[in-house]
Structure 1
Amino acid sequence: MSELQNFSNSLDETIKDSNLTEINTDLFEVLVDSFLEDGVAKDIPIIGTILKLGKFSMSLKEHLFLKKIVYFISELKDIPPKKRNQMVSEIDESKTYRIKVGEKLIYIIEKCEDHISTEYVAKFFKAFLLEKISYSEFLRCTSIIQNIFIEDFEYFVQSDNLERENRWNEYFSDIEMNLVNAGLCGKDLGEISVRDQDDWKASDKYVVEGGRESLYITDIGIKIKKILK
């Protein structure tokens, strides 16, 4: 069995069947310091797999991956195994998705810049498990978090006045443009109207009105704000 298959099967099993109530982010330091092979590590398949792989010397890559895994599964501990199993099995058995959930999550977590990004991914996955978003929307959320500067993302989550219309000769900020490029916000060019000039002394024969750009939050952006607030 390949390393990827081993990891994906272990994560799948962890999400579906493991009791995660004892998991918290403090566990990471304990695991790294002691390389525990029984107790919690034994009960959580994905952690046991990583620890066995690095039994004699854990590389920096394995060290960081373990940290991200612990932060990920700690977000799911409040959801009963039965519910986790039901939701993951629906995707695994679906003909729509060709990659099983465990393997897909390995790809996603591997690409996360750090454990902070991983926590956001976990919150999105938790929202999927609780049926607040679809699996497709979960994947869209993870794509956004992996392709945006994290401070811009947190600015988006915390801001309450993003939607606005530009004043004349005004441009959207770099942060706002990053939110547009990430898919969290969109730009809309207002309707343009042309009418005859009322002032016959004016040099312009016609008056052009409207056409100001406005910033709005996309549907997926709205859902992300609801999940994280």
Structure 2
Amino acid sequence: MVNNLSESFKNTISLDNLGEIAKETAEITIDTFLKDGVLKELPIVGSLFGVWKTGIAIRDYRFISKLLSFLDESSKLSFEKRERIIEQLEDEEYQSEAGEKLLAIIDQLETASKAKLLGKTLVLFGNKEITREEFWRVTYIIEKLPMPDILALKEWRNIELNLVEDVRRHLYLSVGLGWFVLDFSSTGFCWQERLCEIFEVKLIG
């Protein structure tokens, strides 16, 4: 079943008319969701309806809402670039099931706004503005870091990491946005500049 969902997800991302469907379903309500309708045009949603044979719960609705936010943003990437993007995210050794992993991440995201950021990140990768490794690092940050702490990265250049409150600094360090430097020239916490720039300039700027 997982393999079927992963394949449906790949097929959905590579739909020629994904942009049109995404716009049509972007403001979907729970009533519309329960009636499915146009949602069935998305292969991944059709597969999910097949799984939910005993009825659809609010949790399922929230997942679809996040999925649609992700797809709406992803649709801004050209069809040609979307055709094989899931395969391009895969690595034979570490990321052999990129579609499955992305579905799991979307399911764990707190809000649709995070799913939108994830969609933007996919577009950055598709346009070769970030590497595959950077995509997965940014995705991890989006999944693990609270949204207010993500939005605060817009001003990271004006923030001394050593002076950031302990809880927030610990969160930034735990997801790889900073590290502790101890050498002859510097002692203290420093930002991981490349990742911070991706958030500041390309995702929330």
Q: TM-score range by the shorter chain?
A: 0.7 to 0.9
The residue aligned with 1:16 is 14
Aligned match for 1:188, one of 181, 186, 195: 181
Select 2:158's aligned residue among 148, 156, 161: 161
**2: CA distance, partners of 1:81 / 1:31:** 27
Q: Which runs of 4+ in 1 moved over 6 A?
A: none
1:67 is aligned to 65
1:207 corresponds in structure 2 to none
1:5-45 CA-to-partner distances (Å, cap 9, x unmatched) read 22211111011234112213213556415321xxx323311
Contact 1:145 1:153 in 2 (8 A): yes
Shift of 1:212: 5.3
Q: Note the residue ranges of structure 2 that are not aligned, 5 or more in a row.
A: none
Larger Rg: 1
What is the aligned residue count? Answer: 200
The 5-angstrom pairing of residues 78-97 of structure 1 reads 78-91=76-89, 95-97=92-94
- Deviations 1:95-117 (CA, angstroms, capped at 9, x unpaired): 34552332121122122223222
Any unmatched runs of 5+ in structure 1? 193-210
Q: What code does the residue aligned with 1:216 have?
A: W
What is the distance in 2 between the residues matched to 1:185 and 1:218?
Answer: 8
2:171 matched residue in structure 1: 178
SS of structure 2 residue aligned to 1:79: coil
What TM-score results when the alignment is normalised by the length of structure 2?
Answer: 0.81
1:222 maps to which residue?
Answer: 197
AA of the residue aligned to 1:152? D
Determine if contact 1:190/1:212 at 8 Å carries over to the other structure. Answer: yes
TM-score, normalised relative to structure 1: 0.74
Q: Hey, which of these two has a bigger chunk of helix by percent?
A: 2
Structure 1 counterpart of 2:36: 35
Is 1:142 the counterpart of 2:117 in the alignment? no
CA distance in 2, matches of 1:91, 1:178: 26
- Pairwise CA distance, 1:128: 1.0
Provide the identity percentage. Answer: 23
